[in-house]
Amino acid sequence: MKTALTIAAEEWRYWIRSKLALAVIALFAVMLVSVSWVTVLRMQAASAELDHHQAEAEETFVAQPDRNPHRMVHYGHYVFRSPVPLASFDPGLDSVTGQAMFLEGHRQNSATFSASAASGDPGGLSWLTPALTYQVFAPLLLILLGHSAVVREREARVLPSLLAQGVSGRSLMAGKILALLVFILLLLVPLGVIALLAVTTGESLMAAAALVGVYFLYLSVWGGITVLLSSAFSKRSSVIAALAAFWLMVTLVLPSIAVNVASVTAPLAGKIEMELAMLTEQKDLSDGHSVSNSQVEQLSAELFQQYGVNRLEDLEINIRGLLAQKAEEKLTLAMNAYADKRMASELRQTELLTAQGWLTPMIAVAAASRAISGTDMQHYHRFLRQAEELRYDFVQDINQVHAEQLSYVDDINRNRDEESYNRSRVDAANWQLLDEFRFDTASASSRLASAGTPIGMLLFWLAVLFALLTWTGGRLKP
């Protein structure tokens, strides 16, 4: 261990003398600070705008005047998904999934207004994020700094002397790796600052620490790859060429192939096709507007027996509101079943993509980063479910108002004349039933569990590299 520490210190002394480490750190710092600043400003602006729209939508809903209850079911309500604290580091899928949804009776609408669809940016590097900077560019800096770790000793003909003095190949490679690990820790300082800032805005300390840990694993993988290939060639040019080709393959080529493979293996139906399929499944279900005679007769008989009357007009409750409640319940069950099926298909595609992290650490770290940050597909589905829960609650509460506060006689005669229409309205105070909507992420432990598989992939990469480095170090020759 003492030998490895000495070698690591000498490696740092070489980097500092050549000013290479300082140049690399400065380059990365400028890039990361620029990208982080733009991303944080974008997330803050998006959060403020969406929070404003959410408050405005809630205020508009509860400020509606006296209306017929069913009019309010179709008047509906908007909900908005504000960025979570760690989205300032890894926005994940938030830029391509909808941030708003219109809630109304009898329908589950799609999320709309994704950031990318509403943006005038030309794409590409204009959407570079701190997470992508670490995933794509930090490995290049490790390659730039560490590619000569072992091959430099061989080119300078120092390696035979080191080995002759009793320095084992494994100790030499351990020292080079230790030097790169210290450099990796320095690279992670900006991420640590971002994570702590997220904690101050409500993020879990466990999630923030886990995010830093995931990127430490990822960059350690690249450190191991760099030292391994540096020991495999006799010239720096060969090492640079091999590392550049490997970086290109695992960070750009394989992820693109993986996306295409997942899309072809688990294709998703288009929006129009999904809508038609859902309408086909719902054709035999009532939406509360058109109710069959058998449904009316069955419910009427139950109510007549319960209230001891023989006419709908004599009931203390409006049967039309109860029928709307029952119809909404059955329709929602059918819509939820269809939504669960669609979400399962989307998760299947996501899982197929993540599974290819065994081939490239880029996919593994991206999946783990999104899961811990709360910007993955599961959290998008969480938003959809939370929005649907609010939709169902406020629609059924309004149907309850319809049943209890609007008489059956006034309801069926509402279109007779203006006076009848006015009697079919209920007090605006009833609209206070709407609950506030604020999207919340899963617990830190749940997010870590979701990231378990990709983290396992990174650990697998490290285990394989450790074995290869140990074997190579034992066979290291001048």
Residues 126-183: pLDDT tens digits?
A: 568 899 999 999 999 999 899 988 888 888 888 778 777 878 888 888 999 999 999 9
pLDDT at 468 over 50: yes
Task: Indicate the residue type of 172.
Answer: L
- Residue 368: the pLDDT is 97
**Which run of H or E residues covers position 80?**
strand 77-80
Classify the C-alpha dihedral 130-132-135-139 as positive or negative: negative
Distance CA 445, CA 143 (A): 34
> What length does the chain have?
478
Assigned token pair, 370: 């999104």
Please write the tens of the pLDDT for every residue from 270-329. Answer: 666 666 766 666 666 655 566 556 777 888 888 888 888 888 888 889 888 898 898 899
Where does residue 102 rank: exposed (0-12), middle (13-18), buried (19+ CB within 10 A)?
Answer: middle
- Residue 293: the pLDDT is 67
- Residue 117: the pLDDT is 46
Q: Of 288-297, 338-347, 424-433, which range is least confident?
A: 288-297
Q: What are phi and psi of 354, to 5 degrees?
A: -65, -35
Q: What is the DSSP annotation of 161-194?
A: HHHHTT--HHHHHHHHHHHHHHHHHHHTHHHHHH
Higher pLDDT, 123 or 264: 264
Q: Strand (E) positions, 59-164?
A: 77-80, 100-104, 107-108
- Residue 176: the pLDDT is 93
- Compute the half-sphere exposure of residue 247: CA atoms within 13 Å on the CB side of its CA: 22
- Report, as an integer, the average pLDDT of 54-59: 90
Q: What is the DSSP annotation of 337-385?
A: HHHHHHHHHHHHHHHHHHHGGGT-HHHHHHHHHHHHHT-SHHHHHHHHH
Maximum distance among all Cα pairs of the chain, rounded to whole angstroms: 107
pLDDT at 3 over 90: no
**Average pLDDT of the chain, as a whole number:** 87
**Which run of H or E residues covers position 104?**
strand 100-104
Where does residue 150 rank: exposed (0-12), middle (13-18), buried (19+ CB within 10 A)?
Answer: buried
- Residue 285: the pLDDT is 62
Q: How confident is the model at residue 252 (pLDDT cuts 50, 70, 90)?
A: very high
Residue 437, Ramachandran bin (φ over 0: left; ψ between -120 and 50: alpha; else beta) = beta
Q: At what angle do helices 319-355 and 254-265 cross, to 10 degrees?
A: 140
Q: What angle do CA 72, 74, 75 make, to 5 degrees?
A: 60
Strand order in the sheet with 100-104: 77-80, 100-104, 107-108
Instruction: Give the residue numbers spanning the domain of 341.
Output: 2-474
Q: What angle do CA 457, 460, 464 make, to 5 degrees?
A: 145
Task: Indicate the residue type of 404.
Answer: E
- Residue 118: the pLDDT is 46
Distances (CA, A) of 470 to 128, 224, 443, 460: 37, 11, 39, 15
Distance CA 278, CA 160 (A): 73
Assigned token pair, 264: 């072809």
Task: Indicate the residue type of 28.
Answer: F
- The most confident of the ranges 90-94, 103-107, 242-246, 438-442 is 242-246
- Residue 138: the pLDDT is 93
pLDDT at 365 over 50: yes
Q: What angle do CA 337, 343, 348 make, to 5 degrees?
A: 125
Q: How confident is the model at residue 110 (pLDDT cuts 50, 70, 90)?
A: confident
- Residue 474: the pLDDT is 83
The domain total for the chain is 1
